[in-house]
Structure 1
Amino acid sequence: MNRTLEQMARALFKSWFIDFDPVHAKQRGEQPAGIDAETAALFPDRLVEIDGKEVPERWAYGSVSDIAQQVKNQMNPSDHPDALFAHFSIPAFDASGRPAIERGSEIKSNKFVVPDAAILVSKLNPATPRIWDTDLSDDVEYRVSSTEFIPLVTRSEDLRAFLYLALTSHDFAKALSGQASGTSNSHQRVKPSDILSSPVLLAPPQVIAAFGRLVIPILDHSKRNLRENNQLAGTRDSLLPRLLSGELDVSDWQDSITEVTPA
């Protein structure tokens, strides 16, 4: 389900901001497919050339720093040894896409403080993008990330979905990989300034806001699914040892199931 949700969000991003489908439709005198008349009116009906590329009229190239800012606040979780932390780390991203829930005493060294609605961009090996759209779902006192991530906060909530999908696009990963330094792929890194200065084609605010209204609910649904998956995995991990040891007796469950199963 999450793959389908991500594909839906990416397909809409590609249609609006890469292929310019609504603009091409209006050039042909057609109503853009899949959007209402009010949204369609936000798009121009012609393309203009900027730096050798055709883009919609009144759109312009900017950079990531035009729509987001880096958050640099740090803390040492060990200063709060008994507090619960949501720890956004590279291993947690790769394993489940959810932060590890840990006590402060378990987390070593300084970490970045993760603010509300932050998007984390990994500096490590940009050829394998790790872009994390965080949320506030975990019942913890603090949220921190590895310093291998760069926390970004958009200048308005409307920009969050747009920025996340721009950062996870193939073109962005390719451009960022070209700026990486290091002796091998697994140890290559990019600088925060490279991320912030990366070019982004910016539509007028009304277009990006309309996009956010459509896509943010899709991305939030995906995050809720991840959260439920983790909760189910936690239940499984706590019950399985008890089942294997015989501590938890389920021998009478089969009879109960048979009684309620239709013939």
Structure 2
Amino acid sequence: MKKILFIGEEKAKPQEHDVILSRRCNPGETGYVTGDLEIALGQNLVLLRADGETIYPPFLRWLTRGKYWWNQVDSFINVGAVFESLKCADIPKFEILVPSLEEQKLLTACMSSIDDKIAMNTQTNQTLEQMAQAIFKSWFVDFDPVKAKMNGEQPEGMDAATASLFPEKLASETGLPEGWKLSEIGDEVAVVGGGTPSKKNDDFWVDGHIHWTSPKDLSGVQDKVLLDTASKLTEAGLKKVSSGLLPVDTVLLSSRAPVGYLALAKVPLAVNQGYIAMKCEKVLPPEFVLQWCVHRMDEIKQRASGSTFAEISKKNFKPISVVVPSEEVLSAYQKLVKPLYDAITSNVRQSEQLSTLRDTLLPKLLSGEIELETSEEL
């Protein structure tokens, strides 16, 4: 057993590889410092720092996630009338099972390689999302291909076959490409809401297998695709949701608490009352509708109202204008952008699998149940 070096609170300056510990509000939870930070810690936060001799500093982040760590948290936690907490004086008393330095370095390399791949997937997805946004803005907001043709130029980065699908000029009366129309989103997609079956009725939830989502599921989603939900409904529970089971590629927009979370559903699911869900059953493909929401988000939020919290109703959402291009252009757009979201979805699935693998391996490695023999094998 080894005690972790305790640094202190408030005036302590975080350094790379330090761990910031919460004493209250989820006491025992930690965050990892990836570089020197010019910040002051609040009174409910403290720093942990490895000594570098018996604890390898980069290993500290993993050490504070194992069962021995949480056993110590449970041993020293104080249960108050309002909330649970840890005392500063008790934290240096934590005793944690620490492997040898060589084992610590091997474990850190293993865990970090998984985290690096997850981070790379996230970075790749951000680039793919930016590409999708750029194409949407160029084609359907700035009308760059049409303007290029009006100037006698070949649209940049576009082959001749795709360029031929765009009109030759903008209509003088509307400013839109000729043949395109201005419509309302409520006329172009099926806008539906959802509901929450009674949580008191086990028949609706226990052993459920049908995905059911609330906006909370999107709070941590960075990649605008939803593959899983925290809660699952039974068949009986699904019957209590008026909108029923929504298909894959339904566009999800949180309508309250807060307004503006977005995702493409990549599994069939039901939604609660905190969503505006858009089924793309006409000409507008889901990738187009998703990017339209991104582009019109300021107006969407401006149309929200409420005394307790902002909420946008279906009534206020449906009249928002949308430019509807020709079916040929929309088909070309989907052919170009859908593979981007397919790649994003694949990367998210892989990251989830890697995260599960990491969280499964970590306690086994920390306890010695699984051993890493040499760094060359990592």
TM-score range, shorter chain: 0.7 to 0.9
Q: Aligned partners of 1:43 and 1:225: how far apart in 2?
A: 33
Contact 1:67 1:159 in 2 (8 A): no
Q: Structure with the greater relative contact order (CA < 8 A, sep ≥ 6): 1 or 2?
A: 1
Matched, 1:68 2:200: no
Q: 6-15 or 65-74: which moved more?
A: 65-74
The corresponding residue for 2:255 is: 123
In structure 2, what is the Cα distance between the partners aligned to 1:25 and 1:40? 10
Larger radius of gyration: 2
What percent of counterpart residues are identical?
29
Q: State the partner residue of 1:139.
A: none
Q: CA deviation at 1:64?
A: 1.0
Query: 2 CA distance for matches of 1:157 and 1:62?
Result: 12
C-alpha displacement of 1:245: 2.8
Secondary structure at the residue paired with 1:168?
helix
Pairing 1:33–2:156 present: yes
Q: Does 1:86 align with 2:207?
A: no
2:101 aligns with none
1:197 paired residue number: 319
Aligned residues, how many?
Answer: 242
Is 1:95 paired with 2:95?
no
Per-residue deviation at 1:144?
Answer: 2.5
Q: What is the CA deviation profile of residues 48-101 of structure 1, one whole-angstrom value per residue up to 9, with x for unaligned ones?
A: 2446xx221222210112321024576748425213233333222112354335
How large is the RMSD of aligned CA atoms in angstroms?
Answer: 2.7
TM-score (norm 2): 0.58
Tell me, in whole angstroms, the C-alpha distance in 2 between the residues paired with 1:44 and 1:193.
33
- The partner residue of 2:328 within 206, 218, 242 is 206
Q: Distance in 1 between matches of 2:312 and 2:147?
A: 36
Name stretches of at least 5 consecutive residues in structure 2 with no aligned partner: 1-123
3-state DSSP of counterpart to 2:212:
strand
The structure with the largest helix share of the pair is 1
Please state if 1:179 is matched with 2:303.
yes
Q: Check whether the contact 1:86–1:144 (CA below 8 A) recurs between aligned residues.
A: yes
Contact preservation (8 Å) 1:84, 1:101: no
1: distance between equivalents of 2:338 and 2:163?
19
Alignment-mate amino acid for residue 13 of structure 1: F
What TM-score do the two structures reach when normalised by structure 1?
0.81
CA deviation vs aligned residue, 1:100-129 (integer Å, no higher than 9, x gap): 354548xx9965533232111111156x52
Confirm or deny: 8 A CA contact 2:138 2:144 kept in the other structure: yes
Do structure 1's residue 166 and structure 2's residue 287 form an aligned pair?
no
Q: Structure 1 unaligned runs (5+)?
A: 137-141
